[in-house]
Chain A
Amino acid sequence: MEQAWSDRLRRLTAAAPGIAYEFRRNPDGSYCLPFASDRMYEFFGIPIELLAEDAQHAFNRVHPEDLPELMRSIQRSERTMAPWRHEFRLRHQKGHYLWFLGQSIPTKDPDGGITWRGFLLDVTEFRKLSETLRDRDRFLANLLESLPVGVVVIRKQDERVVLINAAGAAMVSHSAEQLLNMRCRDVLCGGRLSKHCPFGESASEAAHQDELLLVQPDGTPIPVLRQFRTYSIPGDQDYYLMVFTDIRERKRLETALRDSESRYRELADSIPALVWISGPDGACVDFNRTWLEFRGRTLEQEKEDGWLEGVHPDDRERVTATYRNALQARAPFVMTYRLLRHDGVYRWIEDHGVPRLDTEGNFLGYAGGCMDITDRQEAQAYLEAVMAGVQAGVFVSDARTDILIDVNNEAARLAEQPRDSLVGRSWRDIITRDRGSDHPSAEERGWDGQIVTPKLHLRRVRVRETVSAVGGRDILVQSAMDITDLHHLLSSQQVDIALARQLLDDVVRPMPRHVNLGRDLSLFVDARVWPCAKAGGDHALVRNFGDLIGSPLTALALCDQSGHEVNCVLRGIYTTLTLDTILRGSRRTLQDRLELFNSLLELSGVFREEDFVTGRFGDIDHDTGILTYAACGHPPAFLIREGQVALLPDAGTPGNNGPCGFLAGTAFTTAALRLLPGDRVIAFTDGLAEMPYRNRKQRFTAPMLARLVQAIIDKNPDLPVSELTDVLLATITTFSGESVGGPNGDNSSADDVSILAFEIESLTQARQWILHPGSDRELAQSVTAIARELVPLWEKQGIRSPEFRLRSVLEEGLSNIWIHGHRKSPDIPIRVRAWVRNDCVLELAGAGEGFEPERVPDPRLPDRILADSGRGIFMIRRAADFLDWFDAGRAFRAAFRRPAAPAIPVPDPMEIMTFPVK
């Protein structure tokens, strides 16, 4: 029976989840396991019989760390007979440990022993799970504490705080320990929750969120976002979970964003441009007030593609395509189209779209600005119409780079190239300027040039230029008039302005340079004319008369003609010939000559009614030294005497007359003064005074120029008049931004520039030799001796090839005088004088027979090439820059022009207004 019960028990326990056992403490204190279910064997691998005898086999399998406590728990149960319960580790027969929970109930045996009956349950997995849960709890606790948001859990039943993290406690300025178990209302509603109690009306909801102001003890409100929900734990209580997020930064950003948007809106609405904004998909999301007022529609009407309704039907497809293509490329774009205004009028719009990007570079859409360019379009169309209608070719370029910006149809026709192909090129590639072709007036610049087409057709053009500041840069506008036909006509008529000018120059030559006045005085005359490109008729005329008509006289004239071009030059020739003829006639006073000249001009038929001649005229009587002078229609000349500048004639004194050629029979007046050694006189035409006008819009008056001359001589009192003229000209040309003079005689200014200057040179300091050669050798020795003395001196003055040229003059001049004039007589003296002032001058004077140098044939003529003699006069002329014969061919002065003087301080013309007039 007992065996049957035991088997039955064993089968029952075999099906149980743990190990059933019977553990006994024998009266002798030893332990044994009288019964153990089969799982015990399966676990330990120890036969049950052995365990029944001695439990030590089982104790040996207890984890050493757990054994002492196990034994103490057993002994406690022995003493108290309380149920035993303990967890410990047992080693499996395979070597690994498993956790077991032992539970059993002790009973006293009759023999004094105690028997525990119970189960051992494998709780290894349970403990692992528990451990995992504990780790998770710790993680959650740490997470909770580290959260930047406040987390509060409140038990619904008593409204007490059961959990609050540090951030949550900080929000109400308490520690978590202080708040734990406090009533929620005491914490959050006790006057600190300004608006809503967390259990207010929202409490009925399962979950919601709102924004509150948590007021700090010091009264500072903290805006928070409260996320609230209730939850229930089955078998437990209901709780409120609240998460408070400090939203001060968000509020600040929202405020800033609102301010920014407000500013953007104010700005966008205040600017006159039409502004729009689109999103990443290209749909327009906003328009400024200007746009909406322009369109007369609401924002809602214009949003998305509503604005396209206002685009002119003819432009819509193009606009859509442009916008779509730009959107795909996310690229900026510019497009023009017609947009319907609120009054039903289409206006031309120039629309600039720019991609909007966030700080990460992400595309947010476009921002666009539009300008109403209808007026500009109309102005452009107007300009196009004007440009198309202008008969001249118009070239518009950047004045700094010369790159063409626009040309009209006529310009394209002249160049025989499409307009588009001309734009972007330098105008200098299209139009070639004729060399030295400037012929400007005072108000404009102009020149002649030519256009060579790709087909090598040649068009001659006259170009007028203006420069205007447009949009911050200087724009050069050139209108090119086609003068090809005119040019051909002139060519076929053989109208040659250069030839006319040469004729005029030849008519006025030769002009005396160094005139012998006797009494150791010499008249130096420097007449210089720089014709401008338009070839005005300025001319100077200087003539010596005396041998034929009484007391010696030098007549001077500096004239200007009205008009320009070839006719002006031709009339200048007529004027010169008339003056010359009058002078060569019977002796007349200057006053008589001027009146006759005036009448002849009017009666000649050469001058038109509107033509006239202006000028300054003077006669110098060699015997008396008296200068008779007059100005006709021109400002006076300057007299520089003893460091002071005076006007000849001064205003209101005799000698001031109107221009010649006005009215026959008009009376003229003259004035006179006695010239003194050292006197310097400068006369000029208006081209000098008006030179600054083109570039500076200023003109010099005669008093201004007088002050300028005064300033120069104040610093250089003894300046020869030729150098004084150089400095005056350099000062004015520099001030005017022009180029006049120079080695090629250029004149870039707008008018002829002419100066007639003279000076009474004293020869008392001249070097002098008196020669009485008796043979060729003695003559040659004299030449060598004089040359040896003068060559270094002239070399110092910068005279080119001084030895060759000096020897040429000395050798040929002395030979001519001695052989031909003196018949080789040693008794007749030959005087040689040399001086340096305005020029380097060599004077040779004999006393024998004179001769007419003009009658000596030119040795270069074909029939003279092989002649044994006759080259002496040629060599003198060739060597000297200027040659003046006097005393019936017995004497001459050979002058060598000194190169331009070294730079001397030049006054600033801007200061001449303040120069005191002495």
Chain B
Amino acid sequence: MSQISTDVSGNTATIRVSVAIDGDVAEQMKTAFSALPLDKIKLLVLDFSAVPFIGSAGLGKLLLFYKRVSSNGGAIEVRGASRELQELFQELRLDLLFKIV
């Protein structure tokens, strides 16, 4: 079973990750993102309900996604993040950029 999967429904795309996001997984996540029909995406959902950890490389990729999606008038929503991930997003003030659900 793939550790990263994507799903597109209308103008909403979902990237579902089920592994710790280290540098290697961050690159895979970037590849998956690049494969999305980015011009049509208005909402990018990041399903992190099965992500135990994210490193700085992964965070850098999220900001990359943000810049790309927001330039098209879209938004990013992080769903299912653990308490530790949510605290990290808040400390880095990323909760100002992403909607944390």
Q: Show the binding face of A for B, using Cβ within 8 Å.
A: 776-777, 779-780, 783-784, 801, 803-804, 807-808, 811-812, 815, 859-860, 865-872, 874-875, 878
Contact indicator B60/A868 (Cβ below 8 Å)? yes
In the complex, 20 of the A-B residue pairs with CB atoms within 8 angstroms, ordered by the A residue number, are: A777-B24, A779-B23, A807-B55, A808-B55, A811-B22, A811-B23, A815-B23, A815-B55, A815-B56, A860-B91, A860-B93, A865-B93, A866-B63, A867-B63, A869-B56, A869-B60, A870-B56, A871-B60, A874-B92, A878-B88
For A815, the chain B residues whose CB sits under 8 A away are 23, 55-57
For B96, the chain A residues whose CB sits under 8 A away are 865
User: Measured between alpha carbons, how far is A21 from B93 in the docked complex, in Å?
Assistant: 155
Most-contacted residue by chain A among B52, B55, B96 (CB, 10 A)? B55
A777-B24, A779-B23 known; A871-B59 Cβ under 8 A: yes
User: Measured between alpha carbons, how far is A852 from B60 in the docked complex, in Å?
Assistant: 22
A776-B23, A811-B22 known; A803-B53 Cβ under 8 A: yes
Contact indicator B92/A807 (Cβ below 8 Å)? no
User: Measured between alpha carbons, how far is A804 from B53 in the docked complex, in Å?
Assistant: 6
Smallest Cβ-Cβ distance to B83: which chain A residue: A801
B84 interfacial contact with A, CB 8 Å: yes
B40 interfacial contact with A, CB 8 Å: no
Within 8 A of A (CB), among B47-95: 52-53, 55-57, 59-60, 63-64, 66-67, 84, 88, 91-94
User: Measured between alpha carbons, how far is A34 from B53 in the docked complex, in Å?
Assistant: 160
Task: Pick from B27, B56, B66, B91: contact of A872, CB below 8 A.
Answer: B56
User: Measured between alpha carbons, how far is A812 from B88 in the docked complex, in Å?
Assistant: 14
Q: How far is the CB of B17 from chain A (nearest CB, A)?
A: 14
B38 interfacial contact with A, CB 8 Å: no
A776-B23, A780-B22, A865-B92 known; A875-B63 Cβ under 8 A: no
B36 interfacial contact with A, CB 8 Å: no
User: Measured between alpha carbons, how far is A777 from B26 in the docked complex, in Å?
Assistant: 11
Task: Pick from B25, B52, B64: contact of A868, CB below 8 A.
Answer: B64
Task: Pick from A780, A804, A869, A870: contact of B52, CB below 8 A.
Answer: A804
For A870, the chain B residues whose CB sits under 8 A away are 56
User: Measured between alpha carbons, how far is A217 from B59 in the docked complex, in Å?
Assistant: 128
User: Measured between alpha carbons, how far is A776 from B93 in the docked complex, in Å?
Assistant: 27
B100 interfacial contact with A, CB 8 Å: no
Chain B positions 6 through 33: 1 when the CB is less than 8 Å from some CB of chain A, otherwise 0 = 0000000000000010111101000000
Q: Show the binding face of B for A, using Cβ within 8 Å.
A: 20, 22-25, 27, 52-53, 55-57, 59-60, 63-64, 66-67, 84, 88, 91-94, 96-97
User: Measured between alpha carbons, how far is A784 from B53 in the docked complex, in Å?
Assistant: 11
In the complex, how many residue pairs between chain A and chain B have their CB atoms under 8 Å apart? 73
Contact indicator A780/B23 (Cβ below 8 Å)? yes
User: Measured between alpha carbons, how far is A667 from B77 in the docked complex, in Å?
Assistant: 69
Task: Pick from B24, B53, B64, B97: contact of A776, CB below 8 A.
Answer: B24
Contact indicator B92/A860 (Cβ below 8 Å)? yes
User: Measured between alpha carbons, how far is A783 from B53 in the docked complex, in Å?
Assistant: 12
Q: How far is the CB of B98 from chain A (nearest CB, A)?
A: 12
User: Measured between alpha carbons, how far is A784 from B84 in the docked complex, in Å?
Assistant: 18
Smallest Cβ-Cβ distance to A861: which chain B residue: B93
User: Measured between alpha carbons, how far is A871 from B66 in the docked complex, in Å?
Assistant: 17
For A777, the chain B residues whose CB sits under 8 A away are 24
User: Measured between alpha carbons, how far is A811 from B59 in the docked complex, in Å?
Assistant: 13
For A874, the chain B residues whose CB sits under 8 A away are 56, 92
Most-contacted residue by chain B among A811, A867, A872 (CB, 10 A)? A811
Smallest Cβ-Cβ distance to A807: which chain B residue: B53
Contact indicator B56/A875 (Cβ below 8 Å)? yes
For B59, the chain A residues whose CB sits under 8 A away are 871
Contact indicator B55/A875 (Cβ below 8 Å)? yes
For B63, the chain A residues whose CB sits under 8 A away are 866-868
Q: How far is the CB of A550 from chain B (nearest CB, A)?
A: 37
For A866, the chain B residues whose CB sits under 8 A away are 63, 66-67, 97
For B25, the chain A residues whose CB sits under 8 A away are 780
User: Measured between alpha carbons, how far is A870 from B88 in the docked complex, in Å?
Assistant: 15
Smallest Cβ-Cβ distance to B64: which chain A residue: A868
A815-B55, A868-B64 known; A807-B23 Cβ under 8 A: no
Contact indicator A871/B53 (Cβ below 8 Å)? no
For A807, the chain B residues whose CB sits under 8 A away are 20, 22, 52-53, 55
For B64, the chain A residues whose CB sits under 8 A away are 868
User: Measured between alpha carbons, how far is A783 from B54 in the docked complex, in Å?
Assistant: 13
For A871, the chain B residues whose CB sits under 8 A away are 56, 59-60, 92
Contact indicator B60/A878 (Cβ below 8 Å)? no
Smallest Cβ-Cβ distance to A805: which chain B residue: B84
User: Measured between alpha carbons, how far is A803 from B63 in the docked complex, in Å?
Assistant: 24
Smallest Cβ-Cβ distance to A867: which chain B residue: B63
User: Measured between alpha carbons, how far is A812 from B23 in the docked complex, in Å?
Assistant: 9
Task: Pick from A779, A784, A801, A878: contact of B91, CB below 8 A.
Answer: A878
Q: How far is the CB of B89 from chain A (nearest CB, A)?
A: 11
User: Measured between alpha carbons, how far is A803 from B19 in the docked complex, in Å?
Assistant: 13
Beyond contacts A780-B23, A871-B60, A878-B91: 7 other A-B pairs, Cβ-Cβ < 8 A, are A779-B23, A783-B22, A803-B53, A807-B52, A811-B53, A811-B57, A871-B56
User: Measured between alpha carbons, how far is A872 from B92 in the docked complex, in Å?
Assistant: 12
User: Measured between alpha carbons, how far is A214 from B81 in the docked complex, in Å?
Assistant: 116
Contact indicator B23/A801 (Cβ below 8 Å)? no
User: Measured between alpha carbons, how far is A370 from B25 in the docked complex, in Å?
Assistant: 96
User: Measured between alpha carbons, how far is A336 from B85 in the docked complex, in Å?
Assistant: 77
Q: How far is the CB of B50 from chain A (nearest CB, A)?
A: 14
A859-B92, A865-B93, A869-B60 known; A808-B23 Cβ under 8 A: no
